[in-house]
């Protein structure tokens, strides 16, 4: 049970709720957000073949890990700028700008010719920034419209639409690279598709904002697109809000989640190429189906069982998913780690981002969700170079997967210990 926050104790940020708490949860605005997120995930799934691109331009697993890891620095920087920009310009403006950046960065990859140029690092950073800004804005948009007790449910259900993108995207990628040959034409088509999907996401994001403004009873300035001015005396409020409301113990799970979800998206393709498997559809297909199914079935687990146990269970299961890669020797064997990752993701995201943002007052939930997503990005930044370095210096994917699994399990145990309830003290008589 969260302790109530007294109105006089809340830090000041100019950010107003997008709707009254009594507004319908699953309305047309929510649907448009889900479609925008679905298109965004189609863009992201095109980058599951990024390992093929890096190898095509002369890179190795070491380069891949650092390109992906350094690229995440862009996402981390975006989270910081995003929180302050949301407060000054509004969630909608940040959402639109992020998608425009993602489109431009996807297209700019068409001009990269070597893995040893700073350009590939900058463009990967811009891609990560665009994804981080788009996703964070969508989460903030929904969480600010949702009743407090339903934030984890609605954020989780919105995220479920992205799993459908993970379901379809890898199939398109395998069709694009059918036969296993990586050519310049196929690489170009991959990035053109990525830019196109980001463009579709932009269209539906604009429609969601327009529909939010057109809803009955909406105030002209009670939307996320036209944020009010950000007074100079409040420019430090972003950090004050984070310092005041952020739950410290949750840092461990957020970092672990970032490490866990980052490794498959970058290294599954490189791993399957190493063992002679050309298609990755089975992994991401199972991942998406399991995540979507369990997200729906467990959508109220955080309310029922609490953020603590749901988060710990998801982290432990994700570690088991990492270890399950040791059993993979064929395409169909990718089903087991895909299933475990899907189940873990279905539990973790609502617990960490949805549940964690409830520690923040309603008008600051955009800042709260941004801070939590930023921690996930930091974990992603730490995990990718770690994974690439382990593969490069040990020559073994098994050691890499087991090492990352160990990090997951250790984080879950540490969080469980750090959040243990205090022991009841007994009064001893004289």
Look at the chain and report how many structural domains it folds into: 1
Token readout for 247 is 């739950």
Q: Report the CATH number at residue 61.
A: 1.20.1250.20
pLDDT of residue 60: 84
86: pLDDT strictly greater than 70: yes
Residue 2 in domain: no
So what's the pLDDT on residue 423?
67
pLDDT reading at 101 higher than 60: yes
Residue 109 covered by a domain: yes
Closest CA to 53 of 4, 5, 124, 122: 124
* Residue 166 maps to a domain: yes
373: in domain: yes
Tell me the pLDDT band of 322, cut-offs 50, 70 and 90: very high
Q: Which domain holds residue 272?
A: 23-418
Give the residue-averaged pLDDT of 51-55.
Answer: 89
Q: Among the residues of 90-183, which ranges form H helices?
A: 91-108, 118-145, 151-176
Closest CA to 94 of 151, 147, 141: 141
**Residue 402 CB neighbours (<10 A):** 16
Task: Say if 16 falls within a structural domain.
Answer: no
For residue 203, pLDDT beyond 90: yes
Q: Which has the minimum average pLDDT: 21-30, 196-205, 231-240?
A: 231-240
* Range from 77-81, 314-318, 422-426 that averages highest in pLDDT: 314-318
What's the Rg (C-alpha) of the chain? 21
Average pLDDT of every residue of the chain: 79
Pair 292, 340: CB distance under 8 Å: no
| Residue 328: per-residue pLDDT | 92
Residue 217 confidence (pLDDT) above 60: no
Query: What tens digit of pLDDT does each residue of 358-395 get?
Result: 666 666 666 666 677 777 888 888 888 888 889 888 88
**Three-class DSSP category at 421:** coil
Question: Is the residue at 427 inside a domain?
Answer: no
Among 262, 288, 36, 31, smallest CA distance to 137 is for 36
- Residue 250 in any domain: the answer is yes
Mean pLDDT of 311-331: 93
Q: What is the pLDDT of residue 336?
A: 94
Return the axis-axis angle of helices 250-274 and 335-349, rounded to nearest 10°: 160
Query: Quick count: other Cβ atoms within 10 Å of Cβ 181?
Result: 8
DSSP 8-state symbol, 25: S
- The model's confidence at residue 146, banded by pLDDT at 50, 70 and 90, is low
Pick the residue with more confidence: 339 or 420? 339
What pLDDT, on the 0 to 100 scale, is given for residue 230? 37
* Sole residue written with tokens 């957000």: 33
In a domain, 3, yes or no: no
Q: How far apart are CA 174 and CA 124, in angstroms?
A: 22
State the Cα angle at 149 between 366 and 141, rounded to 5°: 25
Q: Which range (20-34, 168-182, 332-346) has the least confidence? A: 20-34
CA 155/CA 303 separation, integer angstroms: 13
Neighbours of 393 (CB within 10 A): 10
Q: How many residues does the chain have?
A: 430
From residue 246, how far is each of 31, 352, 357, 360, 369 by CA, in Å?
Answer: 29, 11, 8, 7, 10
């Amino acid at each position: 049970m969260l302790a109530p926050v007294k109105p006089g104790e809340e830090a000041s940020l100019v950010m107003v709720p997008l709707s009254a708490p009594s507004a319908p949860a699953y309305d047309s605005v929510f649907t448009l957000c889900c479609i925008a997120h679905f298109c965004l995930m189609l863009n992201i799934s095109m980058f599951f073949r990024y390992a093929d691109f890096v190898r095509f331009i002369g890179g190795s697993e070491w380069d891949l890990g650092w390109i992906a890891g350094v690229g995440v620095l862009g996402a981390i920087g975006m989270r910081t700028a995003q929180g302050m920009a949301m407060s000054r310009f509004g969630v909608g403006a940040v959402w639109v700008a992020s998608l425009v950046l993602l489109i431009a960065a996807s297209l700019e990859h068409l001009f990269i010719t070597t893995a040893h140029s700073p350009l590939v690092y900058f463009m990967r950073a811009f891609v990560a920034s665009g994804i981080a800004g788009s996703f964070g804005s969508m989460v903030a948009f929904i969480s600010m419209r949702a009743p407090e007790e339903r934030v984890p449910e609605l954020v989780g259900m919105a995220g479920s639409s992205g799993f459908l993108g993970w379901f379809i995207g890898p199939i398109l990628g395998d069709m694009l690279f059918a036969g296993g040959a990586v050519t310049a034409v196929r690489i170009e088509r991959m990035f053109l598709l990525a830019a196109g999907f980001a463009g579709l996401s932009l269209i539906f994001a604009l429609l969601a904002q327009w529909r939010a403004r057109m809803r009955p009873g909406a105030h002209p300035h009670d939307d996320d697109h036209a944020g009010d001015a950000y007074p100079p005396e409040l420019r430090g409020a972003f950090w004050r809000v984070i310092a005041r409301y952020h739950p410290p113990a949750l840092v461990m799970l957020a970092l672990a989640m970032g490490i866990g979800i980052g490794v498959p998206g970058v290294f599954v393709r490189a791993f399957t190429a190493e063992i002679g498997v050309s298609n990755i559809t089975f992994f991401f297909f199972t991942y998406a189906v399991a995540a979507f199914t369990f997200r729906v079935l467990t959508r109220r687990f955080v309310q029922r069982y609490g953020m603590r146990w749901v988060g710990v269970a998801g982290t432990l299961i994700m570690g088991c998913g990492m270890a399950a890669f040791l059993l993979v020797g064929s395409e169909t064997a990718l089903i087991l780690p895909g299933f475990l990752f899907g189940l873990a993701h279905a539990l973790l995201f609502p617990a960490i981002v949805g549940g964690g943002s409830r520690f923040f007052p309603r008008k600051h939930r955009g800042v709260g969700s941004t801070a939590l997503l930023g921690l996930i990005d930091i974990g992603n930044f730490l995990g990718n170079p770690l994974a690439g370095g382990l593969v490069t210096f040990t020559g073994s994917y098994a050691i890499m997967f087991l090492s990352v699994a160990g990090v997951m399990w250790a984080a879950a145990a540490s969080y469980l210990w750090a959040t243990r309830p205090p022991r009841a003290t007994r009064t001893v008589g004289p």
